[in-house]
Amino acid sequence: MAAVIELDGLNVRFGPRDILKDLRCSMSGRAIGLLGPNGAGKSTLINTLLGFYRPFAGTARVFGHDIRTETRQIRALTGYMPESDCFIASMTAVNFIRMMAELSGLPSDAALERAHEALFYVGLGEARYRRLGTYSLGMKQLAKLAQAIAHGPKLVVLDEPTNGLDPPARQRMIRLIREMRDTNEVSILISSHLLRDVEETCEEVLILKEGHQVHYANLEEERRANRRFLELETVGGDNGFADAVSALGCECALTSAHRMKMVLPESFAIRELYRLAGERNIQIRRLSYRRDSLEDIFLKAMESTNGRP
Amino acid sequence: MAVHKRSYRSYAGALTPAWSRFTIITRYAFRNLFRSRMLTAYFVCCFFYPLGCAAVIYVNHNLSLLTSLNIREVLAIDADFFMHFLAVQSAFAFILTAIVGPGLVSPDLANNALPLYLCRPFSRAEYVIGKMAILLWLLSLITWIPGLVLFGIQASLAGAPWAWANIGLAWGIFIGSAIEILVFSLLSLAISAWIKRKIAAGAALLGVFFFGSGLAQVINAVLETKNGYLIDLGNLLTTVEGSLFGHANPVGISASSAWIALLAACVFCIALLERKVRAYEIVVG
């Protein structure tokens, strides 16, 4: 799959302070998560990709376009939902989103049509003729999402999309992001400090700490790999069970008399374990896959010294 | 993304030319501006004086009317007439700028809307030009456009010899108005970009002219010089316009100094805009 975002030794400096330090990564997932504590550089990275800040050293590419020289092309392919409240309070939602779509290059009629569609899509159809200044926080977030997608970009950048949302509104936002991701028509870059949001929506994750890249993980691959690690707790029988399992091609290690960990081969079917247990009159009391959650990955990444892995 | 389908789809239709996008901002701003009845009424008032001038020119060339009133000539239609016209319309233009200008950039800054404009294929320069175009249009409609219409009326009534002999007046009307519009627009945009509150920005614009004029007088009196006029924008504009109509300013500075000072003011305003019109401010340190 072609890279959506490539970071090539990217360094961003404000005055004497290095904000982003030598980021190197290639991300090609449909939904990419940017994780990190406050001040890690997530928003700075987004703003640099959009051309708001100039790199001090290195560069980055979005769909192959260099951020140093092809900012306009990148912006033409991108929709951006900022973290802070951004809107023109005196405009109605439909007029505001129409204007934003026109600024992205859509003709006036097409922009109007897509403004209506985008507002219906995010669930603001009934409120589209209301002034943005009268919207609640959740509605403003949805309006920001609508303006980011109205012109049909190839990459949607969402900076803390669930900030300040109550649980139902958050669920709605997450569902919209997942729906967009699953259309395969758009790539999504989500910056968040909420692990759950990223875990529920993203396929890849880049973790930043103090401007350093501390971890990059393909969550889909990790989830697939985790499915091969198994923990088993049995009652009855003897150690012969472990040998029998090993004979089927599993790597097996006993952690206690009735507990074992195993790595399953690619084509191994779990029913084989139940069959072996049945033959040996062994009860399988617990069978669990290793679940290296994003929280584990994140905490491990945060343990690294000075933000370095 | 049809309404009934409610699913995301990208856009693959035609796009507008990149050069024309600044006009979108201007179009939306105009739609918003003329919702205000007060502004619309004031804008209409700005045409009363040009209409009066047109009537004077017409009466001046209507021999039968003049004879019946036993008047030889109402007013001489010469450089003074057009300079006076420009001075009156400049006052209207300044007030119009003070009403419209502060509301151009400051609401976008107050609402943090700049990242939404600038994350699109739309540059900071286009944003400023789009906003400035609003004032350029409005001020043009009440200064050089009626000025040239009056010149055209006079030329058509007085004949080609008068037109050729006074073609410099047309040039003076256009250049004098253009520099004035440029200064008013850039100054109001710069102030609007630095002061988020619309009312405060309007007050600051008035302050720049009136406080500048007062400060210039103080500098001149204390230092016994004329260089204080260099910070008096009103005097600078009068000097430049006077030079275009062949009048030297008897008390102020030279026309060339006034030109240089006005250009410096424009450059300063552009620098202020360059610093402030950004998606996000960079905090250094």
Query: Could you report the per-residue pLDDT of A28-48, keeping only the tens digit for each?
Result: 989 999 998 888 999 999 999
Average pLDDT over residues A266-273: 82
Contacts of B18 in chain A (CB under 8 A): 72, 105
Q: Please check whether residue B144 is in contact with residue B174, taking contact to mean a CB–CB distance below 8 angstroms.
A: yes
Pairing of strands A57-62, A259-263: unpaired
- Measured in angstroms, the CA of A221 and the nearest CA of chain B are apart by 26
pLDDT higher than 60, residue A211: yes
Confidence of residue A66 (pLDDT cuts 50, 70, 90): very high
Q: What are the sequence ranges of the domains in chain A?
A: 5-223, 227-289
Q: Are B233 and B208 in contact (CB under 8 A)?
A: yes
Q: What is the ipTM of this complex?
A: 0.85
Averaged pLDDT of chain A: 88
Q: What is the CATH number of domain A227-289?
A: 3.30.70
Query: pLDDT over 90 for what percent of chain B?
Result: 65
Of B7, B14, B21, the CB nearest to A179: B7
What is the share, in percent, of chain A residues with pLDDT greater than 70?
94
Confidence of residue A304 (pLDDT cuts 50, 70, 90): low
With CA atoms as reference, report the closest residue to A122 among A186, A160, A185, A174. Answer: A174
Q: What is the pLDDT of residue A309?
A: 46
Whether A85 sits inside 8 A of B108 (CB atoms) is: no
- Chain B residues touching residue A76 (CB < 8 angstroms): 120-121
Q: From B27, which residue of chain A is nearest by alpha-carbon distance?
A: A99
- From A200, A205, A201, select the one nearest A217 (Cα to Cα): A205
φ, ψ for residue A59, nearest 5 deg: -155, 180
* Helix-then-strand count for chain A, H and E: 11, 14
For residue A196, the distance in angstroms to the closest alpha carbon of chain B comes to: 23
The pLDDT of residue B285: 57
% of chain B with per-residue pLDDT over 70 = 95
Instruction: Judge if A5-223 and A227-289 fold alike in CATH terms.
Output: no
Longest dimension (CA), chain A: 76
Per-residue pLDDT of B29-40, as tens digits, reads 998 888 889 999
**Residues B6-49: pLDDT tens digits?**
678 888 899 999 999 999 999 999 988 888 899 999 999 999 99
Contact yes or no for A183 and B1 at CB 8 A: no
Across the interface, do A102 and B16 touch by the CB < 8 Å criterion? Answer: yes
Query: Which residues have CB under 8 Å from B267's CB, separation 6+?
Result: none
Residue B73 carries which side chain, given as an amino acid letter? E
CATH number of the A5-223 domain:
3.40.50.300
Residue from the list A73, A80, A121 with its beta carbon closest to the beta carbon of B8: A121
Strand pairing report for A229-235 and A283-289: antiparallel
For residue B284, what pLDDT is reported? 62
Q: Please state, in angstroms and rounded to a whole number, the distance separating the CA atoms of residues A120 and B6.
A: 7
Q: Which of A84, A121, A152 sits opposite B6 (nearest CB)?
A: A121
Cβ separation A86–B1 shorter than 8 A: no
Is residue B203 within 8 A of residue B119, CB to CB? The reply is no
Cα distance from A144 to chain B (closest Cα, Å)? Answer: 9
Residue B202 has pLDDT above 90, yes or no: no
Q: Which of A216-220, B67-71, B208-212 is the least confident region?
A: B67-71
Alpha-carbon span B270 to A43, nearest angstrom: 28
| Chain A residues lying within 8 Å of B112, measured CB to CB | 82, 84-86
Averaged over A300-305, what is the pLDDT? 70
Contact B205, B190 (CB under 8 A): no
**Would you state the pLDDT for residue A164?**
80
The domain segmentation of chain B, as residue ranges, is: 19-276
* CB within 8 Å: B115 and A151: no
